[in-house]
Each structure stands twice: as C-alpha cells, then as structure tokens.
Structure 1
C-alpha cells in the first residue's frame, strides 16, 4: 500500500511537494489503512471517528495534502481562484475567476478545464480530477498531468480512493 500511495501522492502533487513530505504522508496513511485502531491510539490528536464516510488511511491522505494540491470550494469561481493562487503571480491565466461567477456549472468547469489543458503541454496539460469523497465542500479536486490520468485512476482504484476526471463526471451527472 505504501508504494501505491507514494506514487499516487507524487503524481497528484505535480511537483508541489517534496519527496520527504510525500514519503511521510504515505507512511502515515499506510499505517492508518493497516491498523486504524492502533493508529488512532498512537495519534490521539487525529480528529477521526467511524462516522466519517472514508477510511482512516484516506482521511490521512486527504487531510495531509496542502492547499496547493487539493482544492476545495463551494463554487467554480472560488475553486479557480485557489488554482490560480497556487501557481503564484508569475503564471498568467487568460480566464479570470469572476468570469465564472454567473455561469452554469458545466460551462464554468469546461472553461477551467480548457484553461488548464493549455498549460504544461509537454505533460498533456492539466486535468481537474475529483478526488476522494466530498467532505465539507461542494467541489474537491486535484490537478493531474493529462499524461498521468490513466495511472492516477489505477492508483486510486488500488488504494480505494474515489477519483474521476471532473469534467467527464459532471457531463455524466448532468445528462442523467
């Protein structure tokens, strides 16, 4: 499980996390997956109980990802503003968060995905990917290089973490 988590966290962090941080999170999460009761006993400061909709190991992964990797918001405008902030002022974006404020969800997400696909072309652009179960926010995504999407989906499946390309998932949901 640890090797799966190291590779998964490395791919979803797209270079935003150090190898040491990735290793630490994978260690903790693997221990939590293997022995949830023992992990909680050894870490009484962890705010988790069996009413949470995800396993403790997944909770550790989700809770340990920095806000430059895991984006959580209630609107697409807020989500995009977080993504833009994570890249810093040196990266220019054609799309502005306020342009998303009065658009339908599918239109907003499509615009964000188009903007992100145009970046990091050598890696297949970025794909917004729904990651894990929603906890407190309406939207919860990571950015994954387009070339890495199939492998990230395999790794998520192996770890039991829900994941799907956000735009494809929303298109399916809207057309049901």
Structure 2
C-alpha cells in the first residue's frame, strides 16, 4: 500500500504540472513538531505557477516523525506524512517578510511494532488521507529564505503541526 500511495502521488504531481514550470523552483529541509507525533524532519519541493497567478505555487513534502513509545514501553512507533499543498503568497512592500496561506491533501501513515516475542500479530498500522489548512511567513527574498508556519490536519494526520526551515531557490533565473 505504501508503494502504491507514493507512486500515485508522484505521478499525479508530475502529470498535473507541465515541465516548463520546472524552470525555477524551491527545495529545502524543515523541522516540524506534530502535537501527536512529536518531532519530525522533512524535505519539500515547491513549483511556482506564474501561468495561473504570480503568487501561487504548489508544494510537495515528505516528513518523518519520531513519536516515541506513547506509553507502551518496549514498542516502536513510526509516523510519516506526504503532503501536496497549494500556497498563495500575500506580498507586502517594505516589510521583509511575506505571509502565505496553504491548503491541500495529507497522506498520513502510522505503524506500531509491539516488540513482543511469540505467536500473534505484533505489528499494526494504518494510512489515512486528510486535508491541510494553514499558513505562515517567509522571511526575506533571494536564493535562500527561512520560513515558518502552522497547519491543521483535518482527518488524515489529525492534528496541528508547527514547522520551519530553509527554502533554496534553484533553476533558471535563480540568484
């Protein structure tokens, strides 16, 4: 199921956005804190869509979280998310930052290994699809820009995520 989900998300992303959009794009790492899954790390790629609106872009990201044992000593929990979001920037003049809003799709996967020995199923997990709604700010302009935001996951990941990272502009026209 995991491979199928990843393959479908990749194909959808590549088909939905024409190759000329890849002239300039953003990539980067981020750190996140999920109110249920604790600390996480991830990476993203963002593609501007100037053909539609100069302030619109799409961003795909993958985050892996480290949820701890959740009160089940000796057990191992895993949690990851794959997100596809539309981001709309609200440019402000002479302030040094740009606020933005996001909305999109969240695919969340958790798994639990109880670590017990003997007969029976010691592993469980589930994959859910939900909706992301949130916003944030990007500080400064140029080829490297820090950002921070918060998003709420409705269904799917079910929770709030605070995140921040660095955005690197690469490709045609980058500085």
| Pairwise TM-score range, normalised by the shorter structure | under 0.3
Which one scores higher on RCO, CA 8 angstroms, separation ≥ 6? 1
Larger Rg, first or second structure (1 or 2): 2
Structure 1 or 2: more helix by fraction: 1
Structure 1 or 2: more strand by fraction: 2
